[in-house]
C-alpha cells in the first residue's frame, strides 16, 4: 500500500513535469481506437446480422416438404427461441375468366420474426409497416394480381375453396426468395385459413418454412442438435448458409472490421512502444538514484509497474469514455443508412477495448520496464552506463504473441491472423536487414558527400538502432494506413463491379425453341439491350466413371445439392463471360461429348480432368468426358451453370432457354404485355432482393469508410507522436552544434534532409510490406483479386517524405529559434 | 545488519582491486587497497584524474563490486552481498552527494529531499524534508524544480537529501567540482556543519586541496595504488 501511494505520488510528479504526456496520449489513442472499433464493429455486426436475418425473416430457418417433428418445436421453446412458420406453394387463381399462377404464402401470426412487411392501400398512400401478416379471412396481394385479374382492393379472392378479402397491397416481404415459389405474384394469407382452401392434399408440392429467432447461444445449440436429425429433403439455413451472395458480403465486411481492428492495434502498439522507450530512457537516471538511495530491484519493478498500471487504468478509462462517445457519433452519422433499430452497445465490447489497451500496454512496456531494474547504481557516478538491453527474442516474442492473441480475439480467424502476422514478420526481418545493409553502404560512402548530406546521414547512421526502430515504426504505421485504404477501396470496387447500377433484375425461364427469336427481339426492344440466352436441359448426374455419384458425396457438402435434384445443363460454343477457366482447356468445334465442371462442385465430388460423367435426361442416358474446370462468380445476377457441355452432346435433347435482363421500373407496365404474350415463360423478379442487397452493401461501405478514417487519424497521430518521442537526442545534438557555431540554415537543412530520408525509406518499406501483406491477404483470406496499385507506389513515399520531414523540421525548430543554453537546460 | 557505534572500525578493505577487460587486455583500475575507516572520521580520497578515486568510492558505497579482495562494514562482509542486499544497507546507513548533484529533474526541491524518506516508508517525510531545506536556507524554494535553481542551490538540496535519513556514512564525490570557488566554499562549510551535527562518517573524493584539508585524514591514490 505504501509503495502504491509512493507510485501514485511519483506519477503525479511525472505528470506535472510533462514526462507522461506522450505515453498517456499514445495509450488514450490506442484505447479510444480499440474501444471505438470494438463497440462500433460489435454494434454494426449485430445490426448487420439482424438486418441480414431479415432476408430469412428469422435467425434460423428449417425448410421441409412436410411438417417437422413436434419435439423440435418443443426443444426450441425450451431453449427460449421464438417460432413462426410459413407454407409456400403455387396455385392457379381463376377470377373474372382470367387465369393466373400465383405464389401463395400462408403465414402464422408470429411471422415475421425478423424484419417487417410493408403494404399500401393505393399508389398515393404511404407505405404501412407491419410486424405480422394478414388476419384470418383476409389476404394481402401484390399489385400485379389486381391488374392481371381485374380486381380492386376490398374484392374477394378465392384461394382454392376459401374466399378471402383483399385488404392490403403487399409491397415488401423480407424473405422473398428467388425460387419458383416466389417468382409468381405473391398472395399472402393467414395459415388459419389454409385448411379451408383444401389445396393441401397428400402429395401436394408444398414447402414449409419453420422460422426461429433468439439468443445466438440457444440458436447454435438448437442448430447443432437438429442438424443430425435432418432428412435429405430438409435443410437448415442461417444467413451464412443461405443467401451466399449476402453471406459472403457480410463475411468480407466482418473481415474488414476485423482487419481495421488489427491495424489500429498495430498502430497503437507502435505508438506505445515508441513512447515507452522514451519514458524508460528518461527514467534511467531516476532509477539509478533510487538504486543509490537503497531501492531493491524488486522495489524498482513494483514502483514502476504500479505507475504503468495506474497510467493504464487512467488512459483506459478515458479512452473507453471517448470511444463510447465516438462510436455513438459514428452511428449517428450513419443513422440514415442504418435500420431504425440499432443493436445496443455491449459492455463486453467496451471491456474488450479496455483489455486491449491494458494488454498492449503491458506487452509493450514490460521489456523496457524490466530493463529498468538492471540500471546500475554506479550510473550516479558514471552517467554513460546503460542497462543491458532486454533480449530481442523476449521483446519481439512478447509483443508478437500479445498482438497475435489480440488479433485472433478480434477476428476469430486463424488464417487472417496467421496471414498478417506471418507475412508481416518475415517481411520485417528482411526489411530490417536491408536497412542495415543500406546504412553500412552509406557509411562507406560518407566521406564523398557534401557537408549537409554527411551530417544528416551521420545522425541516422550513428544512431543506427534508433533509426532502424524509427523507420520500422513509421513503416508499420504507414503499412497499416495503406492496408485500410486499399482493402476498403478494392472491396467496394469488387461489390460495385458485381452489382452495377443496371444489374439484371429479372430472370426469364422456360422459353421454348420456337419462341427464342421472338422473345429475344421483344426483350431487346423492352430493355434496350440484348441479353445472352442459354439453352437449358434438365438432367441428373448419376455416375462419375463407374461409381454412382451418391457414393461420392457427404450429406453436408454442396455436392449434395447438385445430385439431390435435377441440374440445369447447358451447352456453349465458347466460355461464358464471368466464367474463368481454372484447369484443362476449352473445346473447339470438333470436340465431342466433353463437359466443363464448376470448380467447387468438382472438388466436392472428387471429379478429375478426364473422368467420364454419366447423366440422365428423362429416360435417356449419355456420357461426357471432363475437359475443364471453371470458376463461376455466383454473386453476379447472371445465369450460371454447374455443367456446360459441348453443343453436339446436348442439342438433340428437349430444351428451353433462359436469360437475365435489366428492366427499368418505368417499363414494368409494358412488361405485363410481354407476360401475356408468352404465358408459358416464367419470370423471376429479383428487384427486391437486389435492392435489399444494395442497401446492405451501401451500409457496409459507409461503415467501412468511417473505420478507415478512424484508422487513418490514429495513424497520423502516431506518426507525429513517434517523431516527437525521439526528439531529445536530436535537440541535444542540434544545440551542441549551434554552440560550436553551426548556423540556422545548416541545422534546418540537415534536419530536413535527415527526416526526408527517414520518410522516404519508411514510405518505400511500407509499400513493399503492404504489397506482400495485401497479396497474402487477398489470396488466402479475403479472396479478392490482387493487383499492384502503382499510384500508391508513387504517392506513399512522396507523402511520407513530405509529412515526416516537415513534422521533424517543425519539431526541431526550437533548436534554431532558442538560445542553445536554454535548449540544453530544458532537456 | 545493525551498526554498533561502540565498534570503532566502521569500514575495512582487504586487498581491494578492480580490473576491467579492454580490447588491449585487462585494465587494473585499483590494486591491493588496504584501508580502515573509523566511525565519525572524515576521510578525503585525493589523486590525479584517472587514479581510481571515484572507483574506490563506488566500491566502498556498494555501487559497484570489486574484482579482488573484500570490503567489511563493521566486520561484516559487504562486497559479497548481492545488489539488493547492498541496496538495503545503503538505505539504512548511507547518504550521497555527487558532483553533478543528481537531483530528479521532474521533482521539486522538497520532493527530491522527501524521496529517500518516502522509499523507507517514513510517514513524516514532508516535515523532515522541509526542516532540512530550511536548515540549508532553501525554505523559500521548496516548490522549485532543479532547473529553477542555481548550481549551489542544487547542491544544497542534494546535501539536504543526503542528510535527511540521518545516515551513518556520507559519500561525497567531488561535491564542489561543478561550483565556483565562493559557492564551493559555502557548500564545504555546510557539509562539515551537517556532518558534525549528525555525527556522520564522511568519505569524500576531491581535487580540491582546501576541502581535503578540512578532513581529518587524507589518502592519495596513484594509478590505482594507495601511496
Q: Write out chain A residues lying below 8 Å of B145, CB-based.
A: 17
Residues A84 and A112: beta-carbon distance below 8 Å? yes
Find the closest chain A residue to B121 by CA distance.
A2
Q: Tell me how far apart the alpha carbons of residues A355 and A457 are, in angstroms, rounded to a whole number.
A: 41
pLDDT at residue A346 is higher than 90: no
Confidence at A715, pLDDT banded by 50, 70, 90: confident
pLDDT digits (tens, 9 = 90+) for B177-208: 877 888 888 888 888 988 888 889 999 998 88
pLDDT at residue B1 is higher than 70: no
Residues A477 and A267: beta-carbon distance below 8 Å? yes
Residue matched to cell numbers 461429348: A593
pLDDT at residue A85 is higher than 60: yes
- For residues A425 and A312, the model is more confident at A312
Overall average pLDDT of the B64-83 stretch:
88
Mutate to test the interface with B, among A4, A303, A375, A381 (most CBs of B within 10 A): A381
pLDDT digits (tens, 9 = 90+) for B85-100: 888 888 888 888 888 8
Distances (CA, A) of A596 to A592, A636, B224: 12, 19, 91
B19: cell is 580490473
Q: How far apart are the first and last CA of chain B?
A: 32
Q: So what's the pLDDT on residue B70? A: 92
User: Residue A381 is nearest to which of B63, B90, B115, comparing CB atoms?
Assistant: B63
Closest CA–CA distance from residue A273 to any residue of chain B (Å): 22
Pairing of strands B169-173, B201-205: parallel
pLDDT digits (tens, 9 = 90+) for A556-579: 444 455 555 667 889 988 888 878
User: Residue A289 is nearest to which of B88, B104, B118, comparing CB atoms?
Assistant: B104
- For residues A611 and A461, the model is more confident at A611
pLDDT at residue B2 is higher than 50: no
Instruction: Count residue pairs from A and B with Cβ separation < 8 A.
Output: 86
Confidence at A181, pLDDT banded by 50, 70, 90: very low
Residues A96 and A149: beta-carbon distance below 8 Å? yes
User: Residue A291 is nearest to which of B57, B87, B105, comparing CB atoms?
Assistant: B87
The share of chain A scoring above pLDDT 70, in percent, equals 81
Q: So what's the pLDDT on residue B160? A: 92
Residue matched to cell numbers 514490460: A366
Report cis status (omega within 30 of 0) of the bond before B31: no
CB contact under 8 A, A14 and B106: yes
- For residues B168 and A51, the model is more confident at B168
CB contact under 8 A, B54 and A381: yes
Please report the beta strands in A180-331, taking only residues with DSSP state E, as ranges in sequence order. Answer: 186-190, 207-213, 235-237
Q: So what's the pLDDT on residue A205? A: 65
A375 and chain B: CB distance < 8 Å anywhere? Answer: no
Overall average pLDDT of the A323-351 stretch:
75
Closest CA–CA distance from residue B185 to any residue of chain A (Å): 22
Q: Which range is most confident: A34-38, A130-134, A169-173, A686-690?
A: A130-134
Confidence at A49, pLDDT banded by 50, 70, 90: low
Interface of A with B in 307-326 (CB under 8 A): none
Find the closest chain A residue to B55 by CA distance.
A381
pLDDT at residue A10 is higher than 50: yes
CB contact under 8 A, B106 and A289: no
CB contact under 8 A, A296 and B58: no
Q: Tell me how far apart the alpha carbons of residues A181 and A88 are, in angstroms, rounded to a whole number.
A: 7
Residues A373 and A297: beta-carbon distance below 8 Å? yes
| Residue ranges per structural domain of chain A | 2-50+247-497+694-826, 56-238, 506-685
pLDDT at residue A707 is higher than 50: yes
- Element housing A59 (H / E): none
A137: cell is 379471412
pLDDT digits (tens, 9 = 90+) for A232-256: 667 787 765 544 455 555 566 666 7
- For residues B26 and A336, the model is more confident at B26
Confidence at A135, pLDDT banded by 50, 70, 90: very high
Find the closest chain A residue to B94 by CA distance.
A293
Closest CA–CA distance from residue A296 to any residue of chain B (Å): 5
The share of chain A scoring above pLDDT 90, in percent, equals 10
A12 and chain B: CB distance < 8 Å anywhere? Answer: no
| A253-267, A742-756, B22-36: range with lowest mean pLDDT | A253-267
Kindly write down the DSSP assignment for every residue of A532-564, as one continuous string. -EEEEEEEEEEEETTEEGGGG--SSSHHHHHHH
Find the closest chain A residue to B170 by CA distance.
A293
Kindly write down the DSSP assignment for every residue of B111-161, as one continuous string. HHHHHHHHHTT-TTHHHHHHHHHHHTT-GGGTT--GGGS-HHHHHHHHHHH
- For residues A226 and A669, the model is more confident at A226
Average per-residue pLDDT for chain A: 79
CB contact under 8 A, A285 and B87: no
pLDDT at residue A295 is higher than 90: no
- For residues A795 and A3, the model is more confident at A795
| Residue ranges per structural domain of chain B | 9-226
Confidence at A203, pLDDT banded by 50, 70, 90: low
pLDDT at residue A137 is higher than 90: yes
| A105-119, A279-293, B50-64: range with lowest mean pLDDT | A279-293
Q: Which range is most confident: A33-47, A298-312, A320-334?
A: A298-312
Confidence at B5, pLDDT banded by 50, 70, 90: very low
pLDDT at residue B6 is higher than 50: no
Residue matched to cell numbers 474446370: A629
Closest CA–CA distance from residue B100 to any residue of chain A (Å): 9
Q: So what's the pLDDT on residue A179? A: 47
Confidence at A612, pLDDT banded by 50, 70, 90: very high
CB contact under 8 A, B92 and A293: no
ipTM tops 0.95: no
Q: What are the contacts of A340-348 at 24+ separation with CB within 8 A?
A: A341/A47, A341/A50, A342/A43, A342/A47, A343/A42, A343/A43, A343/A46, A343/A47, A343/A50, A344/A43, A345/A39, A345/A42, A345/A43, A346/A39, A346/A42, A346/A43, A346/A46, A348/A42
Confidence at A826, pLDDT banded by 50, 70, 90: low
Residues A343 and A47: beta-carbon distance below 8 Å? yes
Q: Write out chain A residues lying below 8 Å of B89, CB-based.
A: 294
Residues A223 and A236: beta-carbon distance below 8 Å? yes
Q: What's domain B9-226's architecture?
A: 3-Layer(aba) Sandwich (3.40)
CB contact under 8 A, A294 and B64: no
Find the closest chain A residue to B60 by CA distance.
A378
Q: Tell me how far apart the alpha carbons of residues A49 and A47 are, in angstroms, rounded to a whole number.
A: 5
pLDDT at residue A447 is higher than 60: yes
Q: Write out chain A residues lying below 8 Å of B18, CB-based.
A: none
Residues A264 and A37: beta-carbon distance below 8 Å? yes
Amino acid at each position: 500500500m505504501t509503495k502504491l501511494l509512493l507510485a501514485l505520488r511519483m506519477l503525479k510528479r511525472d505528470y506535472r513535469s510533462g514526462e507522461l504526456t506522450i505515453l498517456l496520449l499514445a495509450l488514450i489513442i490506442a484505447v479510444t481506437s480499440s474501444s471505438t472499433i470494438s463497440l462500433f464493429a460489435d454494434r454494426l455486426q449485430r445490426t448487420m446480422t439482424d438486418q441480414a436475418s431479415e432476408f430469412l425473416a428469422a435467425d434460423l430457418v428449417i425448410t421441409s416438404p412436410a411438417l417437422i417433428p413436434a419435439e423440435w418445436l418443443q426443444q426450441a421453446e425450451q431453449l427460449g427461441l421464438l417460432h413462426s412458420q410459413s407454407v409456400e406453394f403455387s396455385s392457379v387463381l381463376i377470377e373474372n375468366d382470367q387465369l393466373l399462377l400465383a405464389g401463395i404464402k400462408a403465414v402464422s401470426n408470429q411471422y415475421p420474426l425478423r424484419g417487417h412487411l410493408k403494404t399500401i392501400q393505393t399508389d398515393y398512400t404511404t407505405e404501412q409497416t407491419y410486424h405480422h401478416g394478414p388476419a384470418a379471412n383476409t389476404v394481402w396481394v401484390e399489385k400485379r394480381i389486381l391488374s392481371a385479374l381485374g380486381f380492386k382492393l376490398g374484392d374477394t379472392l378465392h384461394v382454392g375453396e376459401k374466399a378471402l378479402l383483399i385488404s392490403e397491397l403487399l409491397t415488401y416481404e423480407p424473405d422473398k426468395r428467388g425460387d419458383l415459389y416466389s417468382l409468381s405474384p405473391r398472395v399472402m394469407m393467414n395459415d388459419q385459413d389454409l385448411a379451408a382452401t383444401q389445396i393441401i392434399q397428400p402429395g401436394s408440392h408444398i414447402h414449409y418454412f419453420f422460422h426461429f429467432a433468439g439468443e445466438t447461444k440457444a440458436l447454435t445449440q438448437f442448430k447443432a442438435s437438429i442438424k443430425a436429425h435432418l432428412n435429405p429433403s430438409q435443410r437448415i439455413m442461417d444467413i451464412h448458409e443461405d443467401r451466399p451472395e449476402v453471406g459472403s458480403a457480410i463475411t468480407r465486411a466482418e473481415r474488414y472490421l476485423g482487419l481495421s481492428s488489427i491495424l489500429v492495434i498495430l498502430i497503437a502498439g507502435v505508438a506505445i512502444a515508441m513512447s515507452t522507450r522514451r519514458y524508460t530512457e528518461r527514467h534511467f537516471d531516476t532509477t539509478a538514484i533510487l538504486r543509490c538511495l537503497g531501492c531493491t530491484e524488486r522495489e524498482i519493478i513494483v514502483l514502476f509497474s504500479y505507475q504503468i498500471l495506474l497510467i493504464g487504468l487512467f488512459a483506459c478509462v478515458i479512452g473507453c469514455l471517448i470511444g463510447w462517445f465516438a462510436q455513438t457519433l459514428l452511428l449517428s452519422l450513419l443513422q440514415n443508412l442504418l435500420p431504425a433499430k440499432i443493436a445496443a452497445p455491449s459492455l463486453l465490447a467496451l471491456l474488450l477495448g479496455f483489455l486491449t489497451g491494458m494488454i498492449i500496454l503491458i506487452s509493450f512496456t514490460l521489456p523496457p520496464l524490466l530493463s529498468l531494474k538492471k540500471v546500475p547504481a554506479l550510473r550516479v557516478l558514471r552517467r554513460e552506463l546503460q542497462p543491458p538491453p532486454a533480449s530481442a527474442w523476449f521483446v519481439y516474442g512478447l509483443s508478437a504473441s500479445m498482438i497475435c492473441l489480440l488479433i485472433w480475439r478480434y477476428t476469430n480467424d486463424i488464417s487472417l491472423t496467421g496471414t498478417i502476422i506471418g507475412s508481416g514478420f518475415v517481411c520485417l526481418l528482411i526489411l530490417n536487414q536491408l536497412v542495415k545493409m543500406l546504412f553500412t553502404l552509406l557509411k562507406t560512402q560518407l566521406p564523398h558527400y557534401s557537408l549537409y548530406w554527411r551530417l544528416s546521414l551521420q545522425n541516422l547512421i550513428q544512431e543506427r538502432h534508433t533509426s532502424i526502430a524509427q523507420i520500422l515504426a513509421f513503416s508499420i504505421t504507414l503499412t497499416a494506413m495503406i492496408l485500410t485504404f486499399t482493402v476498403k477501396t478494392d472491396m467496394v470496387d469488387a461489390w460495385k463491379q458485381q452489382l452495377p447500377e443496371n444489374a439484371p433484375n429479372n430472370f426469364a425461364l422456360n422459353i421454348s425453341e420456337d419462341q427464342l427469336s421472338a422473345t429475344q427481339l421483344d426483350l431487346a426492344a423492352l430493355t434496350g439491350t440484348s441479353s445472352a440466352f442459354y439453352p437449358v436441359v434438365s438432367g441428373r448426374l448419376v455416375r462419375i466413371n463407374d461409381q454412382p455419384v451418391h457414393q461420392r458425396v457427404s450429406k453436408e457438402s454442396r455436392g449434395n445439392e447438385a445430385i439431390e435434384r435435377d441440374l440445369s445443363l447447358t451447352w456453349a460454343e465458347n466460355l461464358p463471360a464471368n466464367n474463368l477457366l481454372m484447369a484443362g482447356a476449352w473445346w473447339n468445334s470438333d470436340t465431342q461429348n466433353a463437359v466443363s465442371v464448376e470448380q467447387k462442385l468438382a472438388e466436392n465430388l472428387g471429379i478429375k480432368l478426364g473422368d467420364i460423367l454419366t447423366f440422365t435426361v428423362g429416360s435417356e442416358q449419355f456420357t461426357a468426358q471432363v475437359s475443364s474446370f471453371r470458376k463461376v462468380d455466383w454473386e453476379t445476377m447472371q445465369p450460371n451453370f454447374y455443367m456446360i457441355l459441348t453443343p453436339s452432346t446436348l442439342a438433340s435433347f428437349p430444351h428451353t432457354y433462359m436469360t437475365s435482363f435489366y428492366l427499368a421500373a418505368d417499363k414494368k407496365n409494358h412488361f405485363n404485355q410481354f407476360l401475356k404474350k408468352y404465358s408459358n415463360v416464367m419470370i423471376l423478379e429479383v428487384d427486391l432482393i437486389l435492392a435489399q442487397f444494395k442497401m446492405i452493401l451501401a451500409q457496409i461501405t459507409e461503415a467501412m469508410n468511417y473505420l478507415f478514417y478512424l484508422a487513418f487519424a490514429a495513424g497520423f497521430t502516431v506518426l507525429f507522436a513517434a517523431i516527437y518521442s525521439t526528439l531529445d537526442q536530436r535537440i541535444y545534438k542540434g544545440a551542441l552544434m549551434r554552440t560550436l557555431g553551426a548556423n540556422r540554415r545548416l541545422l534546418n537543412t540537415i534536419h530536413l534532409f535527415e527526416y526526408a530520408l527517414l520518410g522516404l525509406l519508411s514510405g518505400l518499406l511500407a509499400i513493399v510490406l503492404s504489397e506482400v501483406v495485401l497479396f497474402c491477404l487477398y489470396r488466402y483470406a479475403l479472396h479478392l483479386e490482387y493487383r499492384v496499385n502503382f499510384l500508391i507506389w508513387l504517392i506513399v513515399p512522396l507523402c511520407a517524405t513530405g509529412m515526416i520531414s516537415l513534422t521533424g523540421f517543425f519539431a526541431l525548430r526550437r533548436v534554431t529559434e532558442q538560445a542553445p543554453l536554454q535548449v540544453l537546460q530544458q532537456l | 545488519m545493525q551498526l554498533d557505534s561502540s565498534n570503532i572500525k566502521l569500514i575495512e578493505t582487504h586487498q581491494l582491486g578492480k580490473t576491467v577487460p579492454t580490447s588491449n587486455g585487462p585494465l587494473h583500475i585499483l590494486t591491493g587497497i588496504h584501508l580502515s575507516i573509523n566511525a565519525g572520521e572524515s576521510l578525503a580520497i585525493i589523486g590525479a584524474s584517472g587514479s581510481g578515486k571515484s572507483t574506490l568510492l563506488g566500491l566502498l558505497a556498494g555501487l559497484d563490486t570489486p574484482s579482488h579482495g573484500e570490503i567489511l562494514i563493521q566486520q561484516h562482509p559487504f562486497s559479497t552481498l548481492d545488489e539488493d542486499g547492498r541496496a538495503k544497507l545503503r538505505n539504512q546507513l548511507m547518504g550521497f552527494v555527487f558532483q553533478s548533484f543528481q537531483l530528479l529533474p521532474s521533482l521539486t526541491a522538497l520532493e527530491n529531499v522527501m524521496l529517500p524518506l518516502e522509499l523507507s516508508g517514513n510517514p513524516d517525510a514532508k516535515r523532515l524534508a522541509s526542516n532540512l531545506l530550511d536548515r540549508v536556507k532553501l525554505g523559500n524554494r521548496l516548490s522549485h524544480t532543479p532547473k529553477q535553481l542555481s548550481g549551489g542551490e542544487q547542491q544544497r538540496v542534494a546535501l539536504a537529501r543526503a542528510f535527511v535519513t540521518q545516515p551513518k556514512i556520507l559519500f561525497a564525490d567531488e561535491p564542489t567540482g561543478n561550483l565556483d570557488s565562493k559557492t564551493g566554499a559555502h557548500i564545504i562549510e555546510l557539509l562539515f556543519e551537517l556532518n558534525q551535527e549528525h555525527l556522520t562518517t564522511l568519505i569524500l573524493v576531491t581535487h580540491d586541496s582546501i576541502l581535503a584539508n578540512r578532513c581529518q585524514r587524507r589518502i592519495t591514490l596513484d594509478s590505482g595504488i594507495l601511496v
